[in-house]
Amino acid sequence: VLSRSSTTPGDAAMTLAPCAVPSIDTACLQKVVPFTFTFLDPDAVRVTGFFPLSEYVTGRTRIDVQVKNLPANLAPAQVILDFAGRSNATCQSADQSRGVLTFEIPTEPTATAGAVSLRLHLLASGESFDLPKT
């Protein structure tokens, strides 16, 4: 039986073993699996994903950002998606029921191919979130 509870978000180092006290059983001690469990606050705002994961044109592509616990009464004009400091886009629409923010990737005629880190800014609350790496 594996059991752990927490009320504080964060990482917890844990181990899994086929016996109750691995330190007193040499054979069991060799079968211990350490791992980290990350507890996420179920009420916290966080970015869970985005689509499309890549694009092959230089802008004007729609990008949807999935946000867990999207704040109520969020004004799309108060949400910015930053493209690694190169450019940014203001949110065009916010679907509260699905937790989806829609943007248009800005046109960059001189852009070169490469990975770009994305960061979401909620201006009203001052919160910023890195988008998950693909």
Task: Show pLDDT as tens, one digit a residue, over the chain (134 residues).
Answer: 566 777 788 898 888 888 888 888 888 888 989 999 888 888 999 999 999 887 776 668 899 999 999 988 899 999 999 988 778 999 999 999 999 999 998 876 666 666 778 999 999 999 999 988 76
What pLDDT shows up at residue 23? 83
C-alpha radius of gyration, the chain, whole number: 21
Q: How far apart are CA 122 and CA 74, in angstroms?
A: 9
**Phi, psi torsion values for 23, nearest 5 degrees:** -65, -20
Record the pTM: 0.74
What pLDDT shows up at residue 40? 87
